[in-house]
Structure 1
């Protein structure tokens, strides 16, 4: 009795669990068929040793890929867990940074703008990550902190994609005609960490803060601070 030579399946390079299971299943099937083939080969026409060696080498590569996929999955899980643990430690800490850039959500974006004086008709400009102006409006600003909310609708009527980054700038004058200084620098205590989006978002009260906008972190119980500068 003879069994025709085995055909090695082509395996795509993937790290997801379903593909890893498929690779493992194919490898086990190969071993079973190989043993059956060896047991039932004709003594007068034995299996070609070069073909046998080639198949072993090919499936040895498959086995290594399965192990590599499992290792990469474990590393990804570990890194995700470490990131979550590190960010949770920000709760209760005072963070500072530049809040001019915000990550849009399905509801748009919100910035915290500090004004040196009241400005009855300040100009608000929003630009995308390429520097293109996507929205402008006028807004009455009070002296101190102002929440500027944009619903995510561009000037051309299109709606922005959640996860995209947008930068705000504000200019204006007071009732006497003198220029008002506007700043998006922020400082406050982290009250929440949100992991539901594409990237983690910290919250200072109701104001969202992108992790990448933070320049310094100070623990509530310590006077020492960690700075990105």
Structure 2
């Protein structure tokens, strides 16, 4: 005997609440219409077990309640995201410092901050957006925070075009093992982007994740 499909098998993913609602049925009336049709066409010698459709009705109600709960949760998350958006928009016009190795070369200058864990010699490499090394340098660093400014001159003596460049600063510990020195970039926030999963702050043409921000200075 044909039976009504188990509604609990319909989509229940919280990320697809609207689709899940539609997969259960357009409405409770649709479920009841299917049940009524089945009752009208049941075999008198093999009638429908009342407990069977009662169980299915209970399943329908439970899933419907779960979806409504998920939809309410989604609404709450939207409200929280809206509140957070207002908070992040407040960064616009302010100067921020973020962990990162990429900076903009503009008007013949690109700068990075760094935190050296010790005094010592450091090897510096600067790469273009394609990953090619355009400049190398060797400097003595003092323990603590400092800054390195590159005037845009390449190793060959030519002038590098404006654009994004990444820096690598390496030192060696007393045992001779090489390690990377932490670097950061600073710039003024011109735009906030919410479309990439994580909130991104634009410092001109440069983008940094808001999670990497270490300092904010009011503009």
Using the size of structure 2 for normalisation, the TM-score is: 0.58
Q: Which runs of 4+ in 1 moved over 4 A?
A: 35-47, 109-112, 145-148
Secondary structure of 1:97's aligned partner? strand
- Structure 1 distance, partners of 2:198, 2:79, is 17
Residue in 1 that maps onto 2:214:
215
The alignment yields a C-alpha RMSD, in angstroms, of 4.2
Residue in 1 that maps onto 2:125:
123
Question: Residues 200 and 68 from structure 1, CA distance in 2 versus in 1: closer, same or farther, beyond 3 angstroms?
Answer: same
1:51-81 Cα distance to aligned partner (Å, 9 max, x none): 2321122112221233134224323432332
- Name structure 1 gaps, 5 residues minimum: 103-108, 127-133, 151-166, 173-181, 221-229
1:25-71 Cα distance to aligned partner (Å, 9 max, x none): 26442122234556787999764332232112211222123313422
Residue in 2 that maps onto 1:161:
none
- Structure 1 distance, partners of 2:3, 2:149, is 80
Residue in 2 that maps onto 1:185:
184
Paired residue total: 174
Alignment of 1:1-229 (within 5 A): 5-9=3-7, 10-14=9-13, 15-16=15-16, 17-25=18-26, 27-36=28-37, 47-100=48-101, 113-114=111-112, 122-124=124-126, 135=131, 137-139=133-135, 144=149, 149=164, 168-170=167-169, 184-220=183-219
Deviates more, 1:86-95 or 1:41-50: 41-50
Question: Residues 187 and 44 from structure 1, CA distance in 2 versus in 1: closer, same or farther, beyond 3 angstroms?
Answer: same
- Name structure 2 gaps, 5 residues minimum: 115-122, 138-147, 152-161, 172-180
- Structure 2 distance, partners of 1:144, 1:29, is 70
- Structure 1 distance, partners of 2:150, 2:125, is 16
1:57-116 Cα distance to aligned partner (Å, 9 max, x none): 21122212331342243234323323322211111223223223x6xxxxxx86854389
Using the size of structure 1 for normalisation, the TM-score is: 0.55
